[in-house]
Structure 1
Amino acid sequence: MTDALQWIRSLVFTIVMYLLMAVMGIVFLPYALIARDGAMKTCRMYARAVIWLAGWMIGLRFELRGTPPVTGCMVAAKHQSFMDVMFIYQLLPRPRFIMKRLLLYAPVLGWFAYRAGCIPVDRGKKGRAIKDMLARVKAGDAAPGQLCIYPQGTRVAPGAIMPYKKGTAALYAELGQPVVPVATNIGVFWPKRGIYRKPGTAVFAFLDPIPPGLPLRAFLHRLEVAIEGASDDLAREAGFPMPDRPLHAPEEDGTPV
């Protein structure tokens, strides 16, 4: 009975979340058209509204550990659900997420994300995607701030294994900025797919920055050890039976790192 009730609460929450997205997208569209900051503030307002709704509708609360950056840097985060995008976004003063180009065609979400300064890339076109990202950042097409990237390129469930991609290393080398790793256990409560959301406390941890200038393989290894190790610990803290698992070398595609 308890699981059935939580499933119903999760379904209602999901419906309300997307209805709110549509309503806010329509109401604040003129504001977003006038100024890019208008789109950013609307996205931040929506993210905070969803966080508040999650607390009383499905019993999912959030805890922040560490200090989010306020100056220019890269933020490399663990990606386990749609919720980690919103939680990180509302914390940073000027976030710019690298997102799949396909999301540009998502009603409301894609248009506001692009207007707010997110950078669309073509998944699967590795070399071209990296060049496009670098070109847009250097050309000033995206406003300065915190460049947010998911090093594994997609949502990865707790306990699942997926290598870290070379795009993060390429950006690290070209931009010469510190990288702030972010770990989370949100996937324990908010899965990659499905409606059911578990009650509890999801943790997001901003870890010690990685300074610029490291050899690229050393950087990727250090990044993976930091994010995966901390995320695994947070999952265990939440009661998830996390097995010991190996780390991976950078994604192999014939290109030297």
Structure 2
Amino acid sequence: MVLLRNIAFSIVFWGLSVPIVATAPISALFGRRAIVRHATAWTLVHRWAVRHLLGIRVKVEGVQPTTPVFYAAKHQSMWETLELQCRLGGPAMVLKRELANIPVWGWSARCYGAIVVDREAAGAAMRGMMREAEAARLEGRSILIFPEGTRVAPGEQPPLKPGFAGLYRILAMPTVPIATDIGLLWPRRGLKRPGVVTLRFGDVIPPGLPRRVAEAAIHAGMNALER
């Protein structure tokens, strides 16, 4: 049954994703609001397929802010990158340059308002990332980053990448850590399994804290579900 669920998910979600993603540049021509709605439609398809085909349900803990904030989330699978897009109301996401360089799709992501980060960036490139983040804040958008820098397996707690501290300082926004245990059901390799995934919103971290204090609080909040 688990195998059949995975096959059904792949056929339905990826089959629908091809035309949705392929037509994203058309929406992008009509401005930011249109491409954000387009992206949200795609993530809602993903949400439906995850719930009804894979049998994965979501339990939310903590309080989700109702005003724009800086979110720092755990990254264990593809699931949270799409689920958080619609759950957080279309935040500006910090995106690896490799993804932003994908022809057509990368252009659409930039139109969406993605904040592009280069892991090997020199000072000028990092300043460009800061400007993009500041522009998103001035638009009244929340900003989402996966500050450990890469997808990790359950139990892994790598240190935060340096770019997080820079954004925390420049944006001066309340920051909220998000923890998830989706990796227990959605492994990097192997079949996705039905069950309940927890998405936990941590306590709000105020702006202006010393770097080590802010990073420690965010890291703890992001890893609150780690065993």
**What TM-score results when the alignment is normalised by the length of structure 1?**
0.80
Report the equivalent of 1:85: 81
> Residues 136 and 142 of structure 1 are in contact (CA less than 8 Å); yes or no, is this contact kept in structure 2?
no
Aligned pair count reads: 227
Tell me how large the CA RMSD over aligned residues is. Answer: 2.2
| Partner amino acid, structure 1, of 2:30 | I
Between structure 1 and structure 2, the one with the greater Rg is 1
Alpha-carbon distance in 2 for matches of 1:161, 1:66: 21
Give unmatched runs, 5+ long, in structure 2. Answer: none
TM-fit CA distance, 1:114: 2.2
SS at structure 1 position matched to 2:218: helix
Counterparts of residues 1-257 of structure 1 (less than 5 Å):
5-27=1-23, 29-106=25-102, 109-125=105-121, 127-138=123-134, 143-191=139-187, 193-228=188-223, 230-232=224-226, 242=227
Task: Return 210-219 or 64-73, whichever deviates more.
Answer: 64-73
User: Identity over the aligned pairs, expressed in percent?
Assistant: 34
Cα 1:127/1:189, change in 2 over 3 Å: farther
Cα 1:218/1:25, change in 2 over 3 Å: same
Report the equivalent of 1:245: none
TM-fit CA distance, 1:94: 4.0
| Partner amino acid, structure 1, of 2:69 | C
> Residues 97 and 118 of structure 1 are in contact (CA less than 8 Å); yes or no, is this contact kept in structure 2?
yes
| Partner amino acid, structure 2, of 1:209 | V
| Partner amino acid, structure 2, of 1:200 | G
Task: Return 125-134 or 151-160, whichever deviates more.
Answer: 125-134
User: Which string of whole-angstrom CA distances, capped at 9 and with x for unpartnered residues, describes residues 147-202 of structure 1?
Assistant: 111110111111123111221111111221110110101111112x2351010011
Task: Return 219-228 or 101-110, whichever deviates more.
Answer: 101-110
Cα 1:134/1:210, change in 2 over 3 Å: same
SS at structure 1 position matched to 2:37: helix
Cα 1:126/1:156, change in 2 over 3 Å: farther
User: Which string of whole-angstrom CA distances, capped at 9 and with x for unpartnered residues, describes residues 213-253 of structure 1?
Assistant: 1110111111112221x221xxxxxxxxx3xxxxxxxxxxx
Task: Return 57-66 or 122-131, whichever deviates more.
Answer: 122-131
Alpha-carbon distance in 2 for matches of 1:78, 1:217: 19
**Greater RCO, CA 8 A, separation 6+:** 2
SS at structure 2 position matched to 1:25: helix
> Residues 97 and 119 of structure 1 are in contact (CA less than 8 Å); yes or no, is this contact kept in structure 2?
yes
